[in-house]
Homo-oligomer: A and B are copies of this chain.
Amino acid sequence: MEGKQKAIIEAKANVLKALGHPTRLWMAEQLEHGEKCVCELAEFIDADISTISKHLSVLKQAGVVADEKRGKQVYYKLKVPCILKYMSCVEAVIKAQAEEQAELL
């Protein structure tokens, strides 16, 4: 594989990897309909705030979200909302998978 192609694949994989954690995917989905501050997200996640902050920074570093400080709070929003549009296909994958598992019983 050529250098540039390789870099592109790596960048894309990095985005998917960032979304490939339950907490991070959940947070991204929460941002689908607009920005939220860290505290709003944290309200529903059973983890230390510092853990949540680190997850958000992974999403930010991958280019999935952008942050903005306003007053005491930091607000996060999706940078490219289409990133969640295709979850319907990911859902199709897990549905097919679940059906197969079921057939085994």
Contact = CB atoms under 8 A, between A and B. Distances in A.
Interface of A: 1, 6, 8-22, 24-26, 29, 44, 62-64, 79-80, 82-83, 85-87, 89-94, 96-98, 100
Contact of A16 (B6, B16, B100): B16
B86 A85 contact: yes
B22 A20 contact: no
Given A17-B21, A25-B12, A25-B13, A83 B94 contact: no
Contacts of A93: 15, 62-64, 79-80, 83
B12 A87 contact: yes
B89 A11 contact: no
